[in-house]
Structures are given as structure tokens and as C-alpha cells.
């Protein structure tokens, strides 16, 4: 008796950053089968498709077979995730639903649904706990890993996590995934929350340093060394703090600048983004060419995204060598491995160019610690954790007073998918090398 058609998935309950295989078994031989995926995520529904042909035995493997048609074109089962397109335009709720991230798979032959299954993806392993930090001066959440993942001394390596220019808490998804791999993670807000600066202007580095000391004092956290991971302006902050704080001996920056720039406004110069000992750090102001505001408003009215990378590049060109040197982050002062992650199509800031120069500078210095630059072709500014939809990454809404401006982030869906996977793999390897070895 022939097998009934089945969609075989392995593993069936992965973490959201883990790959899983998709195989078709027991289907009619040499037939076209369309696999449709639907993913509820962040309050929206995403859908993708791939059509493959079964072999003589009625099987097909989406990891080894290039789709005959569909929303992606490579032999990659994860294409059903990253190439998913949004259905409808429901607003995102404040909290995830219980099925958020699950992947519902349906196999269709000759217009008829013949098999289905669901991949129950998890944002964190069992045993991870999340608590708000009870401290009068810190706005943070602590993600404790499962107790059984502790080392022989009963402690876990610690990581401070910093978000970007949107403000508020950093990604809960990233923090939960790091905690699932045995890291105690302090998700730290540094502006945009009650009790903190309302804008990314003159944020004191001492605030982050006090958070590092708080994390090091936890009973279940190995106090030294600690690591720091940040995105965009949070990546800049991560690198800055790691050069000042001896406990921080591993740093990862996603699309970071290795030079400090002005506070986070486009239409004026509010001063330095960061302070130390009550004084603004040396910084490079953005350039605002004649007519920039008019062009920005015109793009906003037409719904066209605005590339702002030229403001950074022209600012660097106008600043002069002395000012740029004063604003350069001394990565050689970090006491361990550094990873810089960039895309070659970043249209927000020249993170790729600056990272290349920083690595070259460190390579020229004898005895420098490892500093690695992962630059991924086809990726823009918005690199994230893997196996999530990338089809809308090229543009992101950015709040400005009285309106919301769409920024051109750069990148392609396939380029982001590759960058997400490579960057996350390299991030985990860097943290492991710096904090576990």
C-alpha cells in the first residue's frame, strides 16, 4: 500500500533562528507540488510559495531542489521564510500571540490540498526567564538562561544588548535567543523611555557602564569578561563602551559607525550623541547640503524613501582630518575580539567603509586583538536575526517631529537573508570565543 502524502519537517520545534528541513514523502511520482507557507508574525500574516517536482519515488527535498516557480528561486527551504510577503495591513499588537512565528505548510497537487503540517517555532527555550530590572537608575530587562546551561561554577557569561535609533528596549527576540544559548542578557534602554533622555543626544556613557557593573554583580553571572552587542547607533555605543570598560572584552556591532557622529536628528546639529564625565564626546556633524530639507519633504510627500548616507559621507569630508581622528573610536582598546557586521548596500550610513578602515588600522598595529569585518553583498543597514521575512527591509519608517519619514535602508531580500544567517552564526562564534574560551 502506497504512503499517503506527507510533509516531513526536522526539527518540528526549532528556535526561530534555527534551520529546519522540509521534505515531501509519499506523493505521486514526477508531479508538480506547490508548498504554501503562512506565518503569523508581529501582528501580520506572511505568505510564500514554492513549486517543486517529485522524483520517481514521489519525494522532494526543498533544501536541494530549486523551485520551478514561487516567491524565491534558490534551493533553500528557508526561502519559504525570508521570501514571505505580507498579506493585508493589520497593525501590530503590543504583544506576540501564542502562535507567532509558527509556519503552517500546505502541499497542493492539481489544485487540491493533499497534506499539511505546522512547524512550531520558539522564541526561547524552556527555562529562560525575563524580569524587569529593579534599579532606580537603570531601565532594563534581564534575560536569565536555563539553570542547566550554567558552567561548572554555576555561572553564565553575560552580555549587554543595545538597540538602535528607534529608542526604548532592544529586541526581545535577540535577547531571548542569546539567553536560550546560555548567556545572561541585559536588554538595556538608553533613551526614549521614562527616566531617560527623550532623544539620542548627550547620552552619558557612564549609564551603560553602571549597567555593566550591575550585570557583573549578579550571582549567576560570570563577572569578567562580559560582552556587548549593539545595532546601528547602539553598535556605535557598544564599541565606545567596550573601549572604556575593562570588563567588556567582546564587542559585536551590526551596521555600526566606528566614528562618533552627532545626536540623532537629520535637520540640525544638536551636539554630540554621547557624553563622558559630563562633556560631549568629539563628534562629526552631518552635512546638510543646500536644498536637503526641501528634497526630503518632497520625497515624504511622494512616499519615496530617503537615503541619508550622503549626509554622513559629506560630513566626514567636511570635518577635516583632525576632527575625524578625535571622533574615531579606538577599537584597539577593547580587550578581546570585535566583530563588525555590515552590508555593501547600506544607504543609511557608511558603516561598511568605516569598518574596512578600522580593521586595516588595527591590522597595521602589532599585537592587536582580533577585529573581524563581515561585509555581506546585497545587504543594507537593517540586518537582523535569521529566518524572518526580508521582503520589506529595504525601507523603514523613521519618526521625525510631526511626521514619519521613510528611510532608504538599502539591500535586497536575498541579500538580507544571507546576511542575517552569516551574521548570526558569526555573532555566536565571536561571543563564544570571547566569553567562554
Question: Which active-site residues does the annotation give?
Answer: 232, 346, 381
Cell numbers of 268, please?
540640525
| DSSP for residue 331 | G
Q: What are phi and psi of 160, to 5 degrees?
A: -95, 130
Contact (Cβ atoms closer than 8 angstroms) between residue 133 and residue 141: yes
Contact (Cβ atoms closer than 8 angstroms) between residue 226 and residue 202: no
Contact (Cβ atoms closer than 8 angstroms) between residue 255 and residue 230: no
d(CA 380, CA 382): 6
d(CA 258, CA 400): 25
Q: List the one residue out of 86, 16, 83, 87 whose CA is nearest residue 413.
A: 83
d(CA 15, CA 12): 10
Contact (Cβ atoms closer than 8 angstroms) between residue 315 and residue 285: yes
Contact (Cβ atoms closer than 8 angstroms) between residue 86 and residue 79: no
Residues 6+ apart with CB under 8 A from 187: 140, 141, 142, 143, 161, 169, 170, 171, 172, 175
Identify the burial level of 403 via C-beta atoms within 10 angstroms of its C-beta, where 0-12 means exposed, 13-18 middle and 19 or more buried: exposed
Contact (Cβ atoms closer than 8 angstroms) between residue 419 and residue 343: yes
Q: List the one residue out of 217, 215, 236 whose CA is nearest residue 227.
A: 215
d(CA 240, CA 223): 20
Report DSSP letters for 348-373, one per residue. S--HHHHHHHHHHHHHTSTTPPPEEE
Cell numbers of 40, please?
503569523
E strands, 279-370, are: 279-280, 338-343
Report DSSP letters for 137-203, one per residue. T--EEEEEPPGGG--TTS-B-EEEEE--TT-SS--HHHHHHHHHTT-EEEEE--SSSTTS-SSSSSE
Amino acid at each position: 500500500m502506497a504512503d499517503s502524502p506527507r510533509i516531513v519537517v526536522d526539527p518540528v520545534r526549532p528556535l526561530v533562528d534555527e534551520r529546519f528541513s522540509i521534505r515531501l514523502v509519499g506523493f505521486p511520482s514526477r508531479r508538480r507540488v506547490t508548498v504554501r507557507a503562512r506565518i503569523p508574525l508581529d501582528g501580520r500574516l506572511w505568505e510564500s510559495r514554492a513549486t517543486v517536482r517529485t522524483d520517481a519515488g514521489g519525494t522532494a527535498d526543498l533544501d536541494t531542489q530549486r523551485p520551478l516557480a514561487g516567491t524565491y528561486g534558490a534551493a533553500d527551504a528557508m526561502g519559504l521564510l525570508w521570501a514571505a510577503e505580507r498579506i493585508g495591513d493589520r497593525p501590530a499588537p503590543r504583544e506576540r500571540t501564542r502562535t507567532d512565528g509558527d509556519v503552517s505548510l500546505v502541499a497542493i497537487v492539481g489544485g487540491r490540498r493533499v497534506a499539511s503540517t505546522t512547524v512550531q517555532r520558539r522564541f526561547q527555550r524552556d527555562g529562560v526567564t525575563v524580569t524587569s530590572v529593579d534599579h532606580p537608575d537603570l531601565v532594563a530587562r534581564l534575560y536569565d538562561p536555563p539553570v542547566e546551561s550554567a558552567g561548572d561554577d554555576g555561572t553564565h557569561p553575560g552580555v549587554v544588548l543595545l538597540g538602535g535609533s528607534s529608542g526604548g528596549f532592544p529586541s526581545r527576540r535577540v535577547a531571548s535567543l542569546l539567553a536560550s544559548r546560555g548567556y545572561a542578557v541585559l536588554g538595556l534602554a538608553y533613551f526614549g523611555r521614562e527616566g531617560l533622555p527623550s532623544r539620542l543626544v548627550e547620552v552619558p556613557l557612564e549609564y551603560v557602564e553602571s549597567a555593566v557593573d550591575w550585570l557583573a554583580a549578579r550571582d549567576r553571572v560570570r563577572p569578567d569578561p562580559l560582552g556587548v552587542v549593539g545595532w546601528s547607533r547602539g553598535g556605535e555605543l557598544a564599541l565606545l563602551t567596550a573601549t572604556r570598560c575593562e570588563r567588556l572584552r567582546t564587542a559585536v556591532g551590526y551596521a555600526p559607525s566606528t566614528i562618533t557622529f552627532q545626536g540623532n536628528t537629520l535637520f540640525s546639529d544638536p551636539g554630540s550623541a554621547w557624553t563622558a564625565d559630563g562633556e560631549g564626546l568629539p563628534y562629526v556633524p552631518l552635512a546638510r547640503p543646500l536644498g536637503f530639507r526641501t528634497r526630503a519633504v518632497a520625497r515624504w510627500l511622494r512616499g519615496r524613501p530617503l537615503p541619508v548616507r550622503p549626509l554622513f559621507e559629506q560630513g566626514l569630508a567636511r570635518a577635516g582630518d583632525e576632527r575625524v581622528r578625535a571622533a574615531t573610536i579606538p577599537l584597539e582598546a577593547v580587550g578581546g575580539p570585535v566583530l563588525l557586521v555590515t552590508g555593501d548596500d547600506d544607504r543609511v550610513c557608511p558603516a561598511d567603509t568605516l569598518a574596512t578602515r578600522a580593521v586595516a588600522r588595527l591590522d597595521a598595529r602589532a599585537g592587536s586583538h582580533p577585529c573581524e569585518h563581515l561585509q555581506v553583498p546585497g545587504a543594507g543597514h537593517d540586518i537582523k536575526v535569521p529566518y524572518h521575512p526580508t521582503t520589506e527591509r529595504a525601507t523603514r519608517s523613521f519618526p521625525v517631529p510631526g511626521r514619519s519619514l521613510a528611510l532608504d535602508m538599502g539591500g535586497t531580500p536575498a541579500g538580507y537573508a544571507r546576511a542575517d544567517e552569516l551574521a548570526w552564526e558569526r555573532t555566536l562564534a565571536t561571543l563564544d570565543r570571547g566569553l567562554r574560551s
